[in-house]
Amino acid sequence: SQQGEEDPQALSIQEGENATMNCSYKTSINNLQWYRQNSGRGLVHLILIRSNEREKHSGRLRVTLDTSKKSSSLLITASRAADTASYFCATGPNTGANSKLTFGKGITLSVRP
Amino acid sequence: AAGVIQSPRHLIKEKRETATLKCYPIPRHDTVYWYQQGPGQDPQFLISFYEKMQSDKGSIPDRFSAQQFSDYHSELNMSSLELGDSALYFCASSLLGLAGEKYFGPGTRLTVT
């Protein structure tokens, strides 16, 4: 069953603007992670937020997590053309050895120069 | 820093043939995960191994099998290939206790003709 559901599915913005992407999930989680994927390439880990955290920053990235609403948002500030990629949220049920990630459908971000 | 290595990067096979994909995790990582990503789809979990034992199983067809060897590298064996098996196959590794963060390889693009 689908866990993370991102919205919007596609986002086009101008360089310098902020991009906000949302993700919702269905089951209880231990952590939620965001990944970036350039076209046809590997998945690059961006940021992990634990279920007991509400907000986390990493450079131009800000992630929020609302476990009561089972949702997360990824904010990219001052976007650059190089941020053009697909973004996935993925949830982890626990931190043990069996903790596979369940991915949602990606959001395609296009940043126009 | 060393990353996850996958080989080959590209593979073209015909229907009903067999393919073997290899994954070399980050040194000292003890868990390997395999994911399949169809065109325009989100990554789907196939199978994982912890300390050379299968730890979890997802939507892996019976035609596929995998194992983790004593040096921690893993192989995904795919037999009786079908057109629908054409996809990007990702391997990820992690270390128990690293709070769920997974490191993904660049992927193997399998094309079945």
The CATH number assigned to the domain holding A93 equals: 2.60.40.10
Q: Determine the average pLDDT of the residues in B60-74.
A: 95
CA distance A6 to A8: 6
Residue A1 CA, chain-centre distance (Å), reads 19
What percentage of chain A has pLDDT greater than the value 70?
A: 88
Number of domains in chain A: 1
Residue B28 contacts by C-beta under 8 Å, 6 or more apart in sequence? B95
Question: Given pLDDT bands bounded at 50, 70 and 90, which one contains residue B1?
Answer: low
Amino acid B20: pLDDT: 98
Compute the residue count for chain B: 113
Q: What dotted CATH number matches B5-112?
A: 2.60.40.10
User: Structure tokens of A97?
Assistant: 């050895």
Residue A26 tokens read as 């269905």
Mean of per-residue pLDDT scores for chain B: 92
Of A88, A92, A104, the CB nearest to B100: A92
- Using the Cβ of A40 and the Cβ atoms of chain B, whether some distance falls under 8 Å is answered with yes
Per the CB < 8 A criterion, the answer to whether A92 and A31 are in contact is yes
Q: Pick the residue of B10, B24, B31, B42 with the most A CBs within 10 A to test the interface with A by mutation.
A: B42
Q: Give the residue from chain A lying closest to B31, CA to CA.
A: A97
Of all residues in chain B, the one with the smallest CA distance to A9 is B40
Is A44 at the interface with chain B, CB within 8 A? yes
Domain membership of residue A41 as a residue range:
5-112
A28 has a chain B CB within 8 A of its CB:
no
**Roughly how many angstroms between the first and final C-alpha of chain A, as a whole number?**
37
How far is A17 from A53, CA to CA, in rounded Å? 26
Q: Is the pLDDT of residue B91 over 80?
A: yes
Arithmetic mean of pLDDT over chain A: 88
pLDDT at B97: 60
Average pLDDT over residues B29-38: 93
Say what the pLDDT of residue A104 is. Answer: 87
CA A65 vs. chain centroid, Å, equals: 11
The verdict on a CB contact (< 8 Å) between B100 and A44 is no
